[in-house]
Structure formats: structure tokens, C-alpha cells
Amino acid sequence: MNHTVLVIDDMQDVRENISELLELSGYHVLQAEDGYEGIRKAKQHAPELILCDIMMPGIDGYGVAEILERQEETKHIPFIYLTAKAEPADFKKGLQKGAVDYITKPFESDELIESISLRIRQTASNKPVQASDVEWQNWVDYLMTDAPLDRDGEPLAEVHLAAEATLFEQDDQANHLYFIKSGSVRWEYTDAAGRTLCFHLSRAGDFAGWSLGFQQGAYPNSAVALTPSKALRIPMAQIQNMLLEQPSMAMTWGQLHQQAHAQLVDDMMGMLYGNARENVARVLLRFAEWNGQIWTVNMPRETLAKSIGVAYETVIRTISQFKNEGWVLARGRRITLTDRDALLDLLN
């Protein structure tokens, strides 16, 4: 997992140097050039740690910490002050304002990385873990092994898909649930007018083929391989029996689908009222994958157009605008998000 760190510093060279160091260490980094922008991005992205300079114009680091401490969604985020001030009184004040650490400039890169890693581990260890979450993750981990068995002790069937191959069709009898072991599968819904919308992407470790709301045992959408993919075919009857026998697993399943449904509703409402630029930004952010260094979208432009219900030419034109503004790079079907924050800002 790539942990997210928010760096707040009004000095661009300092901010970018720290960000580069963290990115090389495997972190996903957000930048803010002043306290007000830092507060907004902390609320918007909920990073796992905030690294903040103290002496900044407008609102200083102490003020940022005080405001975030009063917000329910940000009060739990560990806060590290980064400053040239090293007097004992300043150190004490920083701790009183909610900081978990206090690093003085100049600092050693190892010192910074070690402090961040330590605080993120401590925060994660303090989070309550539900037994149902553990059971669910154990099951997913088991399905990712080389030769998982079904509940009858038989090997689960593997389905190998070439790119653009169909895993199942909308309205077909839903006899199986599919677990994606590798590759990615897009979900497509075709309405009564024959318009097809690509609205979700299942990646390795995700499921496809069932939701709490499907009716009369039919798949509510089609699933098509975006890339060469491999999936496990799990009999639906076994899934239903498992959820009946293990209420905690059923609870986790329900929570996951509630979250997915809420996200889908948010996306749909945004696309209904958004303009072309906002909708293209929204779909790029939805389908972007983090590979440890950069965010990329590897998807045909036609699929992107399906995802927001606009003309292919509109997507091409808008991506060209984003490219000219320095927000993306585009080569073939691969799009690199060079300024993901700018795309996020466009939606807020």
C-alpha cells in the first residue's frame, strides 16, 4: 500500500525536495504551498500523515494544526512540524499544539523517512481491527494463492481472458461470482436506449458478478476484460451458503457494496451536472492506478468516452487541453497524471 503524506511549506524548493525524497521512498505525496491550501487538501484527501512548516504567511503551522484538530475527519492524522526553529520553548509549543514529532532544518533524509515511517506504523497499529475484516482479508489472500479450492474441496475453475473478451453478459443467469486474480475487468451497463456506460473497474483482488441489488438471479451488467486477465469462477450457491453461515463475512460484504454503491451514486451525480472537463477529469481519477511512482490510466479513449457518455472527440479534445496545461502526458492508450492535484482541484 502506498501511504499518502501531505507536505505543507511555502518554500517551493524545500517542498519539492521533500516530496521527491518521499516519492523515492514509495510514498504518495500531496503538496500545499500555504496553510489554507494545506487545510483544504487535508480535508479532501485525508492523508495518513502531515508534514508542515511552522513559519508561513497567512496562517502558520500552529494554526493549521489547531484547525485540523477540531475537525472530525482530520483530528486523527499525525502531524509533524518541520522548521528551522529549534528552541526548547518552540518544541514544547509544537507538542502542545498536537504534533507527534518536531524535525528541525537542516535534517538528514534518513531521519525524516524514519520519523514518517514510525508515525504511520503507530497510527495503523492503534486502529481497531474488526474480526470480520480479518476473515474477509484471509479469504481474499487464500483466493490469490496458486490453487485455491472451493467449499467442497474441489479446485476453483480459472478463466483466462484476452483483452476485450467478455467474462459475462448483462441479464445472463448469474450462476457464478468471479474473483479477479490478475489484469482488470471493466463493468458495462447498457440502458433501454442501447447506450453503453462503463462505470467501474475490477482489478486483482476484486470481485465481479454480484451485488446486493441484482434481481431474479441475473447479472446487472456485463464484464469485459480491459487487459489480459485471469479470474476464478466461484459457484454462486457456495457464496450464498458462506454468507449465511458466517454473518461477519456477510456484514463485510454488505459494507463493501454499500461503499461501492455510494461512490457510484456520487460519480453519476457529478457526471450529470458536470461539464466535459470535469467529467473527463473524474473518469481519469477513477481509473488511474498507482504503480509506486506515478498514476497512470491504460485504457482506450473509446472506453473513457463510454465511462462518461460523451463523444469520443470530446475526450480527445479535453485530454489535449489537460496535456497543454501540464496535467497529463498521453502516449497511445496510456495516460500519465503528471498533476493529479490539478485534476482533483477541478472537481472541488
pLDDT tens per residue, the chain (348 residues)? 478 999 999 999 989 999 999 988 889 999 999 999 999 899 888 899 999 988 888 888 888 888 888 777 788 888 888 877 655 455 445 555 555 567 777 777 887 887 788 777 766 655 554 555 677 888 888 999 998 998 888 999 999 999 899 999 998 988 899 999 999 898 888 878 787 777 788 888 899 987 554 445 788 889 999 889 999 999 988 888 887 787 777 777 777 766 666 666 666 665 656 688 988 898 898 888 877 778 998 888 888 887 777 788 999 999 999 999 999 999 888 999 999 888 988 887
Q: Which of the listed CATH numbers 3.30.360.10, 2.60.40.3080, 3.10.350.10, 2.60.120.10 matches domain 132-258?
A: 2.60.120.10
Write down the CATH number for the domain with range 274-346: 1.10.10.10
**DSSP-assigned states of every residue in 8-30:** E-S-HHHHHHHHHHHHHTT-EEE
Cell numbers for 143, please give them.
483466493
The pairing of beta strand 207-208 with beta strand 176-182 = antiparallel
C-alpha distances in angstroms, 231 versus 161, 165, 254, 267? 8, 12, 22, 27
Name the DSSP letter for residue 70.
T
Single out the residue of 121, 95, 181 nearest to residue 146, CA to CA. 181
Single out the residue of 332, 327, 331, 317 nearest to residue 347, CA to CA. 327
On whether the CB atoms of residues 131 and 187 are closer than 8 A, the answer is no
Domain ranges for the chain:
4-126, 132-258, 274-346
Q: Which of the listed CATH numbers 1.10.1040.10, 2.40.50.100, 3.90.1150.10, 3.40.50.2300 matches domain 4-126?
A: 3.40.50.2300
